[in-house]
Structure 1
Amino acid sequence: MKSVAPASVLPKQTIPSPSLLFRDNRSDNWNRFYQSWNDYLEDIVKTYRQTILHFYELGARYVQLDDTTWAFLISRLNDTKDQADQHAEYEKLAQDSVDVINGILKDLPDDLTVTTHICRGNFKSTYLFSGSYDVIAPYLSQLNYDGLFLEYDNQRSGGFEPLKKIWNGDENKRIVLGLVTSKIPDLEQEAFLKTRIEEAAEYVPLDNLAISTQCGFASTEEGNKLTEDQQWDKLRLVVQTASDVWGQI
């Protein structure tokens, strides 16, 4: 990738987040191979660290863990507020995710950037999860990522208020606002995007904010309901808006 990318462009390697192992019965067989759940979690950390460091050895300097589990937890934590036992299970899943992710991120090379994208589903212009980030903000605030890509392309993502807790005063952490939708071809107005950035800056300093598309244009081979030209239009809009707000990029 680096050999074909412009010298000024830093390629990003994306891989699934380890928290995806905690959903949909994917870890049901852990006790066939491990004496304890913690032993299993420790091996996940070890495996992910080895993988990320191998990417680093191959020249990667930017790795992103794509994560749908946090959006899943927004729904589950909201739906189980009156069901103490189930709610506690999802709270444990959330904390286990924090502990595993931070274990992976610990003591990585200083020149390696690691971020995450919290995805709400992306298949043929549809989505899976809705709800404000407030219910998971206490967990996201603990994550030691360099940046978090958060979807904010419509009202199903809630307001910007949780950003203050998510950012948590970390001057080295970037909150990337997914304001430009990747699901429909309608092109956003730059003035509207700037207004949204100003609203978010009430909770996180402008220097710690950035803008992106809400998600990728194709999480599966079917893609979303946009043409390639419409996708490029949206990417140009992101670049132009970022240049106007934060200066030349």
Structure 2
Amino acid sequence: MSRPDSENLHLCPPFRAEHVGSLLRPIELLEKREQFRNNQCSAQEVKAAEDAAIVSVVKLQQDVGMKTITDGEYRRQYFFEGMFEKLEGMTFVSNRDLSEFKSYVPYVQLYHKMGMKEAPSIFCTGKIKRTVGIHTEDFKYLRSLVPADQVGNIKITICSPIWLFLRHGSKQTYDLSVYKDDDEYFADLLNAYREEINKLYSLGCRHIQIDDPSFSFFCDENMVIGMKEAGEDGDELLDICIKRYNQLLQGRPHDLTVSVHTCRGNFRGMHYSEGGYDRIATKLFTNLEVDCFYLEYDNERAGTLDPLRSLPRGKVVVLGLVTTKTGQLESVGEVKSRVDQAVTIISEGAPKRPRAEALAQICISPQCGFASVAEGNSISEEEQREKLSLVVKAAEEIWPC
């Protein structure tokens, strides 16, 4: 996707009908993973089960009319797996004390409410280097499953580079004997990310989606209060997060689409935070140098569509109007009505623009993945298919050409 501008919005990818990335794992794959945990099968057998399941999930996406193709995140237990675990210098810690987590982060607040004293995480114990491919083999396998002219439609989802930093802060993200400050830490981390992204690009990947609930967390009143109580400036912290993203994306290929998906948590249908995008819309849409924003908009906890008036020309929003948390099916009419509201708000924003231009800046999708964790949400495979089909049908009626 060429970098969009106000005169020429290229929307392929993303397409009018989108999905966020994760899809329900088949029971056979979940059972095989359980067997592996119980030492009843080999890692090779698990991979074979993943490969077979990915073939099926690619067909599902093609059958319902989705042009964007992902592997359903079938090789992961959690949406954020991948980048940090495979980088040299990062160490997995199964029982980090909760005192080493920022208590104002919404899911950490939940840990405390549950009476947890420790939780698994990752700590930087050495200089960060990318010594192996992170998602490159995943991309290669996906590439083998689609026609050559559709390779550019493959989307790879990756964890946010600020994920650990927002969770732990400067003093607990990295060993201070390894990195003296955040600038040194992020210089190496972002370089590793950049190497992975560039390798994916060289293999034919043209769409990277960064999954990051963190931005929506900044909209939550409890987090805002918690940051103040901790003596931290929430506005400054948001600026720092945006700055790190922009450092990562400097010099990226012109035809590489980079998008950000932000939601309010999706752990087996649970959410962690609430609040509209009003607090962050101007900075997020204007200052964050990505092409596209996947936004959760399936119920009242996401707030109104009004923050879309801050969307500048030349950027795209994918409105997550269809929930993945329950099987209740929305109607095409409901989706079309919400898109019409969004068009009005964007067209009357700053700067004002024709409705046709505002409509060209919109796509639609489910609000989040169907399985941000392997167990998935409380929804059946048939209900998942119906929701994906609904998004496609609505898009075809809204953008008939």
Question: TM-score, structure 1 length as denominator?
Answer: 0.91
Which residue pairs with 1:223 in the alignment? 376
Query: Structure 1 vs Structure 2: percent identity of aligned residues?
Result: 37
Structure 2 unpaired stretches of 5+: 1-141, 347-357
Farther off after superposition, 187-196 or 239-248: 239-248
Contact 1:62 1:113 in 2 (8 A): yes
Aligned-pair Cα RMSD in Å: 2.0
Structure 1 unpaired stretches of 5+: none
Which residue pairs with 1:198 in the alignment? 340
Deviation at 1:56, TM superposition (A): 1.0
Contact 2:217 2:223 in 1 (8 A): no
Contact 2:221 2:275 in 1 (8 A): no
Question: Partners of 2:227 and 2:265 in 1: how far apart?
Answer: 26
Question: Partners of 1:49 and 1:56 in 2: how far apart?
Answer: 10
Deviation at 1:117, TM superposition (A): 0.3
Question: Partners of 1:65 and 1:36 in 2: how far apart?
Answer: 24
Farther off after superposition, 210-219 or 66-75: 66-75
Q: Which has the bigger relative contact order, CA under 8 A and spacing at least 6? A: 2
Which residue pairs with 1:105 in the alignment? 249
1:232 to 369, 377, 385: 385
Aligned pair in 2 of structure 1 residues 76, 92: CA closer, same or farther (>3 Å)? farther
Which residue pairs with 2:269 in the alignment? 125
Question: Partners of 2:223 and 2:260 in 1: how far apart?
Answer: 22
Map residues 1-40 of structure 1 onto 2, 5 A cutoff.
1-6=142-147, 7-8=149-150, 10-25=153-168, 27=170, 28=172, 29-40=174-185
2:191 corresponds to which letter in structure 1? K
Does the alignment pair 1:52 with 2:193? no
Q: Which has the higher Rg, Structure 1 or Structure 2?
A: 2
Deviation at 1:84, TM superposition (A): 7.6
Question: Partners of 1:128 and 1:94 in 2: how far apart?
Answer: 18
Deviation at 1:138, TM superposition (A): 2.9
Which segments of structure 1 move beyond 4 Å, counting only runs of 4 or more? 6-9
Contact 1:63 1:113 in 2 (8 A): yes
Which residue pairs with 1:152 in the alignment? 297
Question: Partners of 1:44 and 1:98 in 2: how far apart?
Answer: 15
Which residue pairs with 2:219 in the alignment? 74
1:236 corresponds to which letter in structure 2? S
Contact 2:209 2:260 in 1 (8 A): yes
Contact 1:78 1:135 in 2 (8 A): no
Deviation at 1:60, TM superposition (A): 1.1
Does the alignment pair 1:247 with 2:400? yes
Contact 1:179 1:211 in 2 (8 A): yes
